[in-house]
Structure 1
Amino acid sequence: MTSFSDGVARAAQAIRELFPETPLQENSYLSRKTGAHVFLKREDLSPVRSYKIRGAFNFFRKTLAAGNAAELFVCASAGNHAQGFAFVCRHFGKKGVVFMPVTTPQQKINKTRLFGGEFVEIRLVGDFFDACYRAAQEFTESAGAHMVPPFDHKDIIEGQATVGYEIAGQLPQGRSADMILLPVGGGGLAAGVTHYFADQERDTRFIFCEPSGAPSLADSLRAGKRVKLEAVDTFVDGAAVAEIGREPFRHLKDFTPDSVRLIPENRLCATMIEMLNIEGVVLEPAGALAIDALKDFPRKEIRGKTIIVVVSGGNFDFERLPDVKERALRFEGLKKYFVFRFPQRPGALRDFLGLLGPDDDIARFEYLKKSARNFGSVLIGIETKDAKNFNVLAKRFHEAGWAYQDITDNETIAGLVI
C-alpha cells in the first residue's frame, strides 16, 4: 500500500509541470526582530500567488488518472481556490465552471478569467457564499460534473502537503525545523503538512494560526469535535471559514487547543503594512497570519530556533489598503475616534484645536447631530505619531471641561459611524 509520503512525493514531482518549487527564504528582518532563524515559505510566489493551485492540480491529476470520463469540473470560490482551479483547467485543457457570489470584486473575477482563458466559465450567483456553493452543488449533480472542493478532500490535502515536501528538502543541510507556523482556514494545508512531517518522523512543533474572528479549528479542538461557528468575521477572507473541513479535522484532531494562535484582525493589518513598507512584500490578510503569530512568542522562547513560516498568499486588492492602514493605526494606538459634546458658539473649534500637540492631526471632523440647542455631537478622528500623546490629550480635554466618549474600541458604535 502506498504511504501518504510516497503519494505526496509523486504529487510534488508531477506539479513541476506547472511551476518550480516556491522558495524557502531566510528573512533577515524577522530573524533580527525575533532572535530566531525565520524562514519564509513563499507560496505567494506561485503562478497564482497562493498555494491553492497545488490541491487543485492534484485533484485534477488523480481524477484523470483514474480513467474517469472527466469533461467538466466545477468549483465555488471567490478567491484563491478559483484562481488555482482556473489555471489548472487551462493546463489540462478541461472545461471548468466557477461559481462566485454576485458581490465578488471585479478584480478577482478578472484574474480568474485571465488564468482560465477560454476553458473557464464564470457564473455569479447569490449575495453570499452559501447560496453560491449550493448553486454549484446543484449544477454539479445535474451536469454530471466533478466538484473540486477547496480543502475537504484527500486529494486536495495530498496536493497541499507538497508544501511540506518542499520545505523538508529546502532546509539548509544540517538544519531542522524546530517550529512550523501554518495559517488555517478550512484546514487542508495544515492537515497535509502535519501528516507529511509525521510520516517522516520529524520532531517539529506545529503552530496553527487562525483569525480571531473565525476560530473554527480552535473551537473544534476544545470541543473534541467539529464545531460550526454561528458568526464569522470575513476580513481575513482567505481563512474565514465557519467550520473546519471533515477530512482535515481527522488529521488535526489530536493536536491540543494551545497549538492554535488566534490573530487579532487589526494587529494583522499592522503586520501587512510592516511587511509592505520594510520588506516590499505584498500579502493578503490570510498570507500574513503566520508571520503575525511570531508576535505571540517571547524572544527568550524562540531565540536561536529555526522557524518556518508559511506565507500562504499574496492576492491583495489594493482597494482595501485604506481600510488596512486604518486598522493598523488603531491597533498601534496612533489613531482614535471620539464623540465630543461640542458647544455651538464662536471660537469653540479654535479652542479645541489649541489643545492639540504638534504631532496630533485631525483626520476626521463630522457633525452627527445637534444634541441640544447649544451643543452638538461631533465625531472627531485624531492621528498622532506617538500613542502616549493620547494620554496628554485626555488630560487636556479633562482640564478644559470637554465632554467626550472614546469610541475607538466600541465595535457597535464605531461600526455605525466610522
Structure 2
Amino acid sequence: MENFVAAVRLAEAALRDLFEPTPLQRNDHLSAKYGADIWLKREDLTPVRSYKLRGAFNAMRKLARPGGGGHFVCASAGNHAQGVAYACRHFGARGTIFMPVTTPRQKIDKTQVFGGNAVEIVLTGDYFDQTLAAAQAFCAEKGAQFLSPFDAPDIIEGQATVGLEILAQLGRAPDLVVLPVGGGGLSAGVTQYLAAEAPVTRFAFAEPLGGASLKAALRAGAPVALPAVDSFVDGAAVARIGALPFEALARFSEHDVHLAPEDRICRTMLEMLNTEGVVLEPAGALALDVLGDLDDLTGKTVVAVCSGGNFDFERLPEVKERAQRWLGIKKYFVLRMPQRPGALRDFLDLLGPNDDIARFEYLKKSARNFGSVLIGIETSDPADLVALTARLDGSGFAYRDITNDEILSELLV
C-alpha cells in the first residue's frame, strides 16, 4: 500500500503539467437539503470535462517514449476517448481511437479537437463489443499499446489522484465519500488511497439501476456479466466490472452500493442545472442522486464526486421527459375514444384546472365505433394526475396508462 500511495503522489505531481486540481466546492443547496456538510469534487471541470484524463495521462507518461512518440489505442464512445486524445497530443504520441459507428457526431468532433493531428478516429461496429474487438485486433497487428478505460494498474493509480486532491483541499478526512461506479477504476483508486491516508473515511457507491455490475459482483463474489444493460447512463453503463478494480472493491458489501433509477437521475441532473447552474452528464450525477438513499447524513462531512459533464444538450428534452415521469407530473394514456359527437368534450370535462394536454394523437383514425388516442398530460402536482385517473375510472372511458410501459412508450411516445 505504501508503494501505491507513493505512486499516486507522483502521478498527481505529474498531472500539474496539464491542469490544476479540480475544485472541491461546498454546496449550500445540498447541505441544507440533507442537513450535512456536502462537498462536490468537480471532475466535470477537467480540460476534457471528466476524470478519465487522469488515468489516460498516467498510463501514457509511463509508456510514452522519451521525448515523445509511441502509438496508443483505445475503444471508447465518450470520456475515455477524449482523455486519451488529449494525452496523446500532450505527449506527442500517436493515437488511434476506435468508436462505434453509432457514436453521436458531437462526441466524435470533441475527441478530434482534443487530439488534433495526433489522433485518428476509426468508426467501426454498431455495438461497443464489436468496436473493442476491432481495437484489440488492430493492436495485435500494429504492435500498438492498448489503454483500458479502467482495468489496468496505471489507470487506477491515475484515477486515485482524485482522492489525494480531496484530502489536500478539505484539510481533514471526510466522514463519507460517495463514488460513481462504471468499470470501477475511479472507485478502486480512491478507496485504496483513502484507506491508507484517511482510514476513518467510509464509502458509498452509486450505480445506475440498469447497469449494477459492482453490486452483482459483490453478491456473486466475483465479476459477472450482466445479461442486459440500460445504456442511458452511458458513462457508467458497464456490463462487467473490471477484474483489477473488483480486487480492490471486494472488501465492501453489496449494501454499500446504492442503485439510481435512470429517470430519477434525470431529475437530479435538472435540479443541478436549474438550481446550481451545474451541467452534469448522467454518470456525473450518480453520486448526487443517491444521497437521499444513504443513512442519516445529519452533521456529517460528505464528499460526492461529480465524475463528468459531457452532456449533449440535444438530449435535454429526453432528460426533462424522464424527470417529469419520475416526479409523477406527466403521464401518457391510450384512450379508447367513442366515435360520436361530444365524446371529446366529455373527456375534456374530466381534466382538472392544472392538467395540460402535452400530446394528442389519433392512433386509429379509420375505426367506425371507437378510435385509439395517445394523450400526454402534464401538471404541477402529482396529486392532480392521481385525481384525473380516478375520474377516468368512474367515467366509463376505457384507457391504459402506458407511462411506465417501456415497449409501448418506445413505440408510441
| TM bracket, shorter-chain basis | over 0.9
Instruction: Work out whether 1:387 is the aligned partner of 2:387.
Output: no
Instruction: Work out whether 1:343 is the aligned partner of 2:338.
Output: yes
> Shift in Å at residue 399 of structure 1?
2.8
Give, in whole Å, the separation in 2 of the partners of 1:14 and 1:156.
Answer: 14
Say whether the 8 Å CA contact 2:31–2:37 is kept in structure 1.
Answer: yes
Give, in whole Å, the separation in 2 of the partners of 1:359 and 1:2.
Answer: 62
Q: Secondary structure at the match of 1:388?
A: helix
Q: Which residue of 2 aligns with 1:108?
A: 107
Q: Secondary structure at the match of 1:155?
A: helix
Q: Which residue of 2 aligns with 1:74?
A: 73
Give, in whole Å, the separation in 2 of the partners of 1:155 and 1:371.
Answer: 64
Q: Secondary structure at the match of 1:366?
A: strand
Question: TM-score under structure 1 normalisation?
Answer: 0.96
> Shift in Å at residue 369 of structure 1?
2.2
Say whether the 8 Å CA contact 2:64–2:93 is kept in structure 1.
Answer: no
Give, in whole Å, the separation in 2 of the partners of 1:154 and 1:388.
Answer: 52
1:258-407 equivalence runs, <5 A: 258-297=255-294, 301-369=296-364, 373-407=368-402
Taking structure 1 as reference, are residues 131 and 68 closer, same or farther at Cα in structure 2, changes over 3 Å only? farther
Give, in whole Å, the separation in 1 of the partners of 2:300 and 2:3.
Answer: 30
> Shift in Å at residue 70 of structure 1?
5.6
Unaligned runs of 5+ in 2: none
Unaligned runs of 5+ in 1: none
Say whether the 8 Å CA contact 1:70–1:146 is kept in structure 2.
Answer: no
> Shift in Å at residue 377 of structure 1?
1.3
Give, in whole Å, the separation in 2 of the partners of 1:398 and 1:137.
Answer: 58
Say whether the 8 Å CA contact 1:180–1:308 is kept in structure 2.
Answer: yes
Say whether the 8 Å CA contact 1:164–1:193 is kept in structure 2.
Answer: yes
Say whether the 8 Å CA contact 1:52–1:80 is kept in structure 2.
Answer: yes
Give, in whole Å, the separation in 2 of the partners of 1:85 and 1:188.
Answer: 15
> Shift in Å at residue 2 of structure 1?
5.9
* Identity of matched residues, %: 62
Give, in whole Å, the separation in 1 of the partners of 2:32 and 2:179.
Answer: 21
1:7-406 equivalence runs, <5 A: 7-64=7-64, 71-172=70-171, 175-297=172-294, 301-369=296-364, 373-406=368-401
Give, in whole Å, the separation in 1 of the partners of 2:33 and 2:198.
Answer: 30
Give, in whole Å, the separation in 2 of the partners of 1:135 and 1:80.
Answer: 19
Give, in whole Å, the separation in 2 of the partners of 1:244 and 1:343.
Answer: 53
> Shift in Å at residue 372 of structure 1?
5.0
2:301 partner amino acid? T
Say whether the 8 Å CA contact 2:69–2:94 is kept in structure 1.
Answer: no
Give, in whole Å, the separation in 1 of the partners of 2:230 and 2:385.
Answer: 29
RMSD: 1.5
Give, in whole Å, the separation in 1 of the partners of 2:301 and 2:2.
Answer: 31
Say whether the 8 Å CA contact 2:5–2:193 is kept in structure 1.
Answer: yes
Give, in whole Å, the separation in 2 of the partners of 1:270 and 1:92.
Answer: 40
Say whether the 8 Å CA contact 2:206–2:287 is kept in structure 1.
Answer: yes
> Shift in Å at residue 400 of structure 1?
2.2
Q: Secondary structure at the match of 1:369?
A: coil
Deviation string, structure 1 residues 326-381 (Cα, Å, up to 9, x no partner): 00000000000111110111222122112111211111111222695210111111
How many residues are paired up?
413
> Shift in Å at residue 415 of structure 1?
2.4
Deviation string, structure 1 residues 368-416 (Cα, Å, up to 9, x no partner): 2269521011111100110000122122223321111111112232222
Give, in whole Å, the separation in 2 of the partners of 1:110 and 1:410.
Answer: 35
Q: Secondary structure at the match of 2:316?
A: helix
> Shift in Å at residue 297 of structure 1?
2.8
Q: Secondary structure at the match of 1:302?
A: coil
Deviation string, structure 1 residues 72-109 (Cα, Å, up to 9, x no partner): 11111010000010000000011100000011000000
Give, in whole Å, the separation in 2 of the partners of 1:206 and 1:416.
Answer: 40
> Shift in Å at residue 68 of structure 1?
12
2:290 partner amino acid? A
Q: Secondary structure at the match of 1:341?
A: strand
Q: 175-184 or 24-33: which moved more? A: 175-184
Give, in whole Å, the separation in 2 of the partners of 1:112 and 1:266.
Answer: 28
Give, in whole Å, the separation in 2 of the partners of 1:277 and 1:255.
Answer: 35
Q: Secondary structure at the match of 1:78?
A: coil
> Shift in Å at residue 201 of structure 1?
4.6
